[in-house]
Chains A and B, each alone.
Chain A
Amino acid sequence: MKFSVEIMPRPEALDPQGRAVQGSLQRLGFTVEDCRVGKVVIVDVKEENKTKALEQVHQMAEKILANPLIETFEVKAL
């Protein structure tokens, strides 16, 4: 079963990458109020039970994929 884990810098955390991209977008003439850059990890889990698979992906996110001090994450079934 495939899932995506979307990882974003916490809303209150400074996101230098987002700020740099925002600057470039503005130079291209786009009016951008805010810009945040995160990452997406797609995992294919060998587990047929969706609840169990979801549980595993959450554990992955908590253990290593995201750092709760600086990031938030969202798991979606694909």
Chain B
Amino acid sequence: MLRKEINDLLTQTNAGTPMGDLFRQYWIPALLASELPEDDCAPVRVKLLGERLLAFRDSNGEYGLIDEFCAHRGVSLWFGRNEEGGIRCPYHGWKYDVNGNCIEVPSEPEESGFCEKIKLSAYPLIKLGDILWTHMGDKDNVPDLPKWEFATVPAEQTYSSKRWQESNWLQAMEGGIDSSHVSFLHSGGLKSDPLFKGAAGNKYNFNDKKPVFEVVDSEGGLYIGARRMAEEGHYYWRITQWVMPSFTMIPPRGDHPVHGHFWIPIDDENCWAWSYDYHPTRALTDQERQYMIEGNGVHNQYVPGTFRPLQNKDNDYLMDRDAQKRGELYSGVWGIAMQDASLQESMGPIVDRTKENLVSTDNGIIMARHKLRKAVNALTEKGVTPPGRDTNHHLVRSVAKVLPKDQPFSEACADDFKAEVGKPQTTV
């Protein structure tokens, strides 16, 4: 259960809200780099943290993320012409550069200097890995560039996708740190998904469906450990990383690429579910990359030409009752990503947490909410920099490991948790 005032605090991220201010402390994923593939290409409408924005790439290859609407009469600049160093409003020809500066008002005498008085809001947009990142906070207090390993390994080792999720960001993110649902909802995927199946550790998931959880503070957020029975005298540990505000890394399975998510609010009732897969020491195979493109693992298929999942609430997520009955798909929905999204969207646009009944296996969720609330309050009341902004907090790995029963994972896996170039992942 979460009190209404705290639920409101954590789920509302528009400009001027405390949680919105927290998100604006970080570099967040804004677009796939492939959405702006070349200089002077078509601009892209972007909505983040409740703000309507326009992303474009100018004639010099500079990326810009500015207010979507022209300062003159409020026309959407998405209809504009991206040409000669700026985006030009098609209505009366006002033109803006990547920093939101108005650089031309054709109807006014050039010498009047009128356009110098016009400026749209603008945020930095930088390419790191296959993603364009933005920082929507204080321009005088920009954090160092992100160091997430998936975004800094060579291009052939990483793959990212994004999908529109029709729910608030928090219930989506909570799914990513709720390891207890894996034994049920995703049980079919461990046997059939080409990016999950075949790992030696999977047998422990099948044999022990009642994992016990240990949630431990980390510098950037939490380690969420799930232990299952392994061979005599040993436990199989799967330790998820959660780094504030919304980064997760799921433990690896065998030599499969490791994956995880960012959940970024579009507005209070929609979010982007960013999904990445990477391997820290080798290139993804063509087959693996193809599986990802086809929507396997944590990725999904799309309504053509959109980032809306092919399986969505308008078609009941293409629910397959026969497969559910046969036991192939626990919920009848195909694919790990849409198994999660279908249920999280079914909770409603913003779930009312005052009515939920949590149990002790929800400790990860309880702790994450607690840490978010404290960070929001510390930022609002004292200006304290929140965890996860320090780029050292980005250099993390999730871990799958068999340990002697009396060995705490926080001690035994201390080195495994650190991302280092060329270091093999710790996996079973």
Task: Note whether A and B form a binding pair.
Answer: no
Binding site for B on A (CB under 8 A): none
